[in-house]
Amino acid sequence: MSGDQETAPIAAPRNGSASNMFRSFGSLFGSSSAAGQTGRAPSPQSGDGYVEFGMQDPERHGRTLGTFAGVFSPVALSMFSALVFIRVGYIVGNAGLYVTLLQFIIAYAILLFTVASVCAISTNGAVEGGGVYFMISRTLGIEFGGSIGTLFFFANVVGCAMAISGCTEGIIQNFGPGGYFVQGSSNTLPDGTWWRFLFSSVINTCMLLVCLIGAALFAKTSVLILGTVTVSLFATYISFLAVGENNNKIPVPDQNKLYNATQFLKYTGLSGNTLSQNLGEHYGRDYTSNGKQVDFAATFGVLFSGVTGIMAGANMSGELKNPSKSIPVGTLSAVAFTFVSYIILSFLMSCTTPYETMQNNYLFLMPVNLWPPFTAIGILTATFSTGLSNQIGSSRILEALSKDQVFGSLLNFVLRGTWKGNPVVAVFVSWVLVECILLIGSFNIIAQINSVLFMLSYLATNLACLGIEMTGAPNFRPLFKYFTWHTCLVGLLGTLIMMFVINSIYALSCIILCLCLVIALHLFSPATQAAQWGSISQALMFHQVRKYLLMLDPRKDHVKFWRPQILLLVSSPRSCCPLVDFVNDLKKSGLYIIGHVKLGDFKEVSDVAYEENQQWLSFLDHMKVKAFTEFTLSRSIREGAQHLIRLSGIGAMKPNTIILGFYDSEAPKDFFQNGSSPYKTDGFNNGDIQSFPIRRDGEPKNFDVMEYVEILCDTLRMKKNLCLCRNFQRLDKNFITISKHVKYIDVWPINVFNPTSEDTFDIVSLFMMQLAVIMLAKWKHLRVRIFLCATNDERTVSTFDTQTPHMEIFSKMKLEQSLKELRITADIIEIQEWSRDTEFTRHARILKQFTQQAEEGIDGDLSEDKLNRSLLYMQRANQIIRERSDQTALSFIYLAAPPKLTSTDFAQRSSNYMDLLTELTAELPPTILVHGVSTVTSTTL
């Protein structure tokens, strides 16, 4: 066989590859070292590892938190944040009670449906450390996991900056110029844009120190912090009921330059008149953002930013005793608790405080409170704890992304900067990004960005869960029973609509960022993670492909939409790299299957197709071809080829063209080891063991020439187009692209074995022209040449020898007309040797007679003299082709049908047939011998 195209697959050694399992990473709250002990990674022998994980003692692996401390407290604390004490009045004062209640209902509906998606994921198997990022990445794949994880990182950074900005605002309005606690004193904190940035930076730095020293301790004190905030909130409720109209006067903050009526604002206490005035909208201007007009979008953006903490409990998954139970119960309880708290607070504000007061002093709760320090303590604890949890969370997400190599080696510096289990570098990166966000200054503007980012995170979560639910994956069986595709869809549409309501520019920018992340991770993410985690994209594609395959009815095929669907039979990929690469161009967006036969018996040899599949997929990656691979184990090459030809593909996606390498005596060339080869690689060498073994020079072939010809006969009997490729070890695509000497793709539409004048217009010739045009689309700088060979066809011109020139002219005109109808641009070159060389013609008649007998299955006598004359004829035909191939990149030559299998002397005829083909194609450029069996072109619309 030729070195580039061996047909019979040779047995390759087994080479199973072990799977590397991923370690669990630190929870978003607490040290990563503690979370690293949350469970043992599943082994390849234990399936998905969930059963073994569930049998472990949680306390022995650092899982000590229950539902209240581990989920309810973090979620409730994060959902109170800065909103509860310093921005509910801003919302009620501008939007009115009715719209405020509507906004809370919309926000909590979105949150509730998103919580359902999170609960479904968290109850679909064992949950390790890493929270939402871990659950989504391992459940839905690296594309969604990595993109959502990145969005969570940015959302936590912005959320931290928002909380710090709220904390600074509370400090300034309490201790700055005109502050409630320093009234009449000259010892006040200075105020101004850069002073506020300085104070925010100091708070951010304090959070940085806590993250570096006591992050785990903070996680354990969340219950105490929540208790403090709750006490302050209930003190506010009581104050609204107890404080009357004449007890308090509310000052106007020095920052407010919009209110000049009086020095103090009104407070009425419980009043029906006040409630009636606060029911409707009274949109004013925001004095904290240079008088920007307030509207529905602005108030909803601030409201939603304060209730985005629903993931805080899931982020504690690495430290929960029973995350599958605690996350749904704790999260839903916290959502209900905060919702009721906000509704009560909004109603009491509407009953007691005029909208002018709420619009012009966002911290009016301070002077209203029976004991004002309650409000100050609530503001500082709520904002500081929320900001700290967001900073810890962002650093842990960044650490998790770097550990999983989601972005390759880009984040390796984060791993190298870990000290005693604490991601020091990740904390510093988060701190720097928070500082950048703080430059925006206004709490309300940061809140809108924060809302859009969290909404996009929730949208991606709902979208991913909707996808996996719609695929009908049998292993998606969440214990949480209130999750359906309806909840996902409503949550997805709700977040999408409200994102654009808040700010269309922010929303569009974030969506583009998310899509870029998903596409980038899909294209460039490491294959190991995608294979080991599983990917929702694969499940979705399977679902859709199956549906469309069923719709692709082969009975509706039409020649107008014909395309090559190719099965390439190869032995060792080492020897056929140029051919594999070439067929990838020839397929014209059609099906491309690389087939391989392994010799063996199922009784004696195990099915190694699964073990070798990874090697073949790696080969496809190395070659960068869009193909599938098919294997079969068989007792003979011919039997295996029959399996592949008949069974490859599925439905209407089945091969219609079979391509084989040529059977000759040349030693195969190893393109993996050849130093000048563009396909050179060491990736398939494992020590002394080589993947894809190759036949060396002098070694016998696995099958004889008769079996090879039998495969050709089987292919045609199964009504498949047949192509034999020779000399493709010489193909150099790069040279063809840059060379000015190589100019043509040649088509020889003459059956050299049995030449007639009708060869140019039969099915085989039209099929050759179709393939040539396909390659012309790849090599646009080349031209197609069709060689019109004039013959002394006895059936048409033997009695009209004087009219032969007229017949030639007629044939050329007919060919030109056919090419025009087929929209094929080609140069027609006339060849006269078949009609004017007397000795050449006599040799052709001898072979023609023998060929007709072979095609009809008639036993005929081919003496040694006749065989020699036939070989001389083939050598002369080869010379004619070679003389015109100096500038040829690729030649298509008519392949005569092989001898009938029914011939009694089939073995001898097969040998003679291959000897003649060998002489015909000797020393030619890369050549494809073509025999078509079906119509592939159309002249109609």
Residue 772 pLDDT:
93
Cα 343 to Cα 28, 92, 337, distances in angstroms = 30, 11, 10
| Size of the chain in residues | 941
Give me the percent of the chain exceeding a pLDDT of 90.
26
Whether the Cβ atoms of residue 81 and residue 277 lie closer than 8 Å to each other = no
Residue 401 has pLDDT above 70, yes or no: yes
Nearest to 134 by CA among 307, 319, 309, 306: 319
Residue 312 has pLDDT above 90, yes or no: no
Residue 200 has pLDDT above 50, yes or no: yes
CA–CA separation, 869 vs 759, rounded Å? 23
Residue 8 pLDDT:
41
pLDDT band at 279 (very low <50, low <70, confident <90, very high): very high
Domain regions of the chain by residue span:
82-529, 564-655+664-700, 725-794+803-940
CA–CA separation, 437 vs 461, rounded Å? 25
564-655+664-700 and 725-794+803-940 have identical folds: yes
Residue 47 pLDDT:
37
Residue 62 has pLDDT above 60, yes or no: no
**DSSP of 268-286:** --S-HHHHHHHSS----EE
Residue 714 pLDDT:
95
Q: What is the pLDDT of residues 658-697, one digit of tens each?
A: 999 999 888 888 898 887 888 998 888 775 667 888 887 7
| Strand 685-686 relative to strand 657-661, pairing | unpaired
SS3 category, 541: helix
Average pLDDT, rounded, for the chain: 80
Q: What is the pLDDT of residues 68-121, one digit of tens each?
A: 888 888 888 888 877 788 889 999 999 999 999 999 999 999 999 988 888 887
Which helix (H) or strand (E) segment holds residue 941: the answer is: none
Token output for 784: 């197609």
Q: Which CATH class is domain 564-655+664-700?
A: alpha beta
pLDDT band at 259 (very low <50, low <70, confident <90, very high): low
CA–CA separation, 275 vs 289, rounded Å? 28
CATH 3.40.50.300, domain 82-529, yes or no? no
Residue 532 has pLDDT above 50, yes or no: yes
DSSP annotation of 898: P
φ, ψ for residue 117, nearest 5 deg: -65, -45
Q: Which amino acid is at 135?
A: M
Residue 127 pLDDT:
59
End-to-end CA distance of the chain: 44
Mean pLDDT within 736-761: 86
DSSP annotation of 192: S
Nearest to 315 by CA among 326, 301, 304, 302: 326
| Strand 783-789 relative to strand 689-690, pairing | unpaired
CATH number for the domain whose boundaries are 725-794+803-940: 3.40.50
Residue 140 has pLDDT above 80, yes or no: no
Question: Which is more confident, 918 or 4?
Answer: 918
Q: Is the dihedral of CA 8, 14, 20, 21 positive or negative?
A: positive
Q: What is the pLDDT of residues 323-332, one digit of tens each?
A: 778 888 999 9
Give me the percent of the chain exceeding a pLDDT of 70.
81
Nearest to 107 by CA among 389, 380, 296: 296
Q: What is the pLDDT of residues 642-654, one digit of tens each?
A: 999 999 998 889 9
Whether the Cβ atoms of residue 788 and residue 760 lie closer than 8 Å to each other = yes
Question: Which is more confident, 72 or 472?
Answer: 72
Mean pLDDT within 517-523: 79
Place of tokens 């409503």: 490
CA–CA separation, 744 vs 3, rounded Å? 25
Nearest to 54 by CA among 106, 126, 6, 108: 126
Residue 607 pLDDT:
56
Whether the Cβ atoms of residue 852 and residue 860 lie closer than 8 Å to each other = no
Residue 7 pLDDT:
44
pLDDT band at 14 (very low <50, low <70, confident <90, very high): very low
Mean pLDDT within 492-500: 89
Q: What is the pLDDT of residues 776-832, one digit of tens each?
A: 888 989 999 999 887 765 444 433 344 455 556 677 888 888 888 888 899 999 888
Residue 464 has pLDDT above 80, yes or no: no
CA–CA separation, 149 vs 933, rounded Å? 55
